[in-house]
Amino acid sequence: MTITELTDDEFSKFCGLIYRAAGIRIADSKRIMVGNRLRRRLRATGIGGFAEYYGYLTSAAGAGEMPQFLDAMTTNETYFFRDPQHYQWLGGEFLPELARSAAMRRPPRRLRIWSAACSTGEEPYSMAIEVAEKRPILAGWDIRILGTDISGAALAEARAGRYDARALRLVEPARRLAFFDEDAAAGRWAVKADLKALVSWKLHNLLMPLREELFDCIFIKNVLIYFDRDSKQVVVKNLLAALAPGGYLLVGPTEGVYNMLEPLEKRKTWLYRKPGG
Ligand SMILES: C[S@@+](CC[C@H](N)C(=O)[O-])C[C@H]1O[C@@H](n2cnc3c(N)ncnc32)[C@H](O)[C@@H]1O
C-alpha cells in the first residue's frame, strides 16, 4: 500500500482534531512527524489514506480509534527522578513537614499525591520511592499516589512497571536493589509489588475535571509545553480545583503557566502552595 504525503488541508484538520481532543497545539514544523505517526495508524487499521482515516476517526464507527490516535500523537518521554530537586523537596521537606504537622492534629493521617500526565509511570513510581523511604515517619498513614494520562498505551506500560537502563539512569544502585527486581537477561528492572501497591492509575484528560479526593501535592511536568493559553487555563483551573487547602502544586520548567497561578503562594519558581489548610 502506498500512502502519499499529508496535504496542507489534511495536516490542519488533524491538528484541529488533536487540539480539540487534547489541548495540544501542533507546530507547522511537526508536519513530517505527524505524517509518520499517522502512517503507523494507517498500517494498523488497514486504511489506505489520510483523508479516509480522518473520516473514520471522526465518525461514530471510528470512536474506538480515538485513543490509539491520541497515543500515536503524544510524546511520552520520561524517566525516574527527572529534575532531582523536585524529589529532594518531596522526600526531604514536604513529607517530613506533613508528618510533623499531622503529629499535632488528630487522625486520620492521609496523603494523596497526583502525578498529572504520568506517561509510562516513572514519575509516580519515583514519588512512591520517596514515600516508601519515609515509611517510619508515615507509619499507619493511608497513602495513595495516583498517576493519570490521556494515553492508554502509556498507562499500560506504567501498570506493567518494567523499565530499561535508560529510564533508570538516575536511580542509585541501593534504590534499584530495594525497589526493583532485575531481569539481567532482558536488561529490564521490574517494580516490586509493595511499591506498585502505593500507586493507582487512571485514564484522564487534563482538559476535564478529575473527580477524585483532593490532593496534598500535584506534579504537572513536561506536558503543557504544547498547549496554548486557553487550554493551559482550563488545565490550571482543573488542577487548582483538585488541590487541597495547604496543598502544593509542583510545576515543570516548560509548562509556561507561572502567570496563571495567582491564587497560590509562590514558594520557588516551580513550587506553589494553596492557601489554607
Ligand atoms: C513528556 S510526558 C511527561 C511525563 C512526566 N510528567 C515527566 O515530566 O517526565 C507528557 C505526557 O502528557 C500526556 N498528555 C498529553 N496531553 C494530555 C492531556 N490532554 N491530558 C492528559 N495527559 C496528556 C502524554 O500522553 C504524555 O504521556
User: Tens of pLDDT along 204-238?
Assistant: 999 999 999 999 999 999 999 989 999 999 999 99
Task: Report percent pLDDT > 90 for the chain.
Answer: 90
CB of 221 shorter than 6 A to ligand 1: yes
Kindly report, as residue ranges, where domains of CATH 3.40.50.150 are found in the chain. 84-273
Question: What pLDDT shows up at residue 188?
Answer: 97
pLDDT for position 4: 74
Residues whose CB falls within 8 Å of the CB of residue 47, separated by 6 or more in sequence, listed in order: 41, 53, 56
* CB-ligand 1 contact for 117 (6 Å cutoff): yes
Query: Using a 6 Å cutoff on CB, does residue 74 contact ligand 1?
Result: yes
Q: Where in the chain is the domain with CATH 1.10.155.10?
A: 8-73
Q: Flag whether pLDDT at 255 surpasses 80.
A: yes
Residue range 63-76: mean pLDDT, rounded: 90
**Cα 213 from Cα 233, distance rounded (Å):** 21
Residue 3 burial (C-beta neighbours within 10 Å; 0-12, 13-18, 19+):
middle
Does residue 107 have a pLDDT over 90?
no
- 70 Cα nearest atom in ligand 1: 25
Q: Is the pLDDT score of 72 beyond 70?
A: yes
CA 74–ligand 1 middle distance (angstroms):
7
Would the CB of 207 count as within 6 Å of ligand 1?
yes
211 part of the active site: no
User: Which residue, by CA, sits nearest to atom 27 of ligand 1?
Assistant: 119
With a cut of 60, say whether residue 1 has pLDDT above it.
no
Q: What architecture does CATH give domain 8-73?
A: Orthogonal Bundle (1.10)
To the query of whether residue 228 is one of the catalytic residues in this protein, the response is no
- Give residues with Cβ within 8 angstroms of 194, minimum separation 6: 132
Q: Report, at the CATH architecture level, how domain 84-273 is classified.
A: 3-Layer(aba) Sandwich (3.40)
Give the model's pLDDT for residue 2. 59
- Residue 131 pLDDT > 80, yes or no? yes
Q: Is 223 in the pocket of ligand 1 (CB under 6 A)?
A: yes
Query: Distance, CA 76 to ligand 1 centroid (Å)?
Result: 6
pTM of the model: 0.94
**pLDDT in the model for residue 103:** 82
What is the residue-averaged pLDDT of the chain?
94
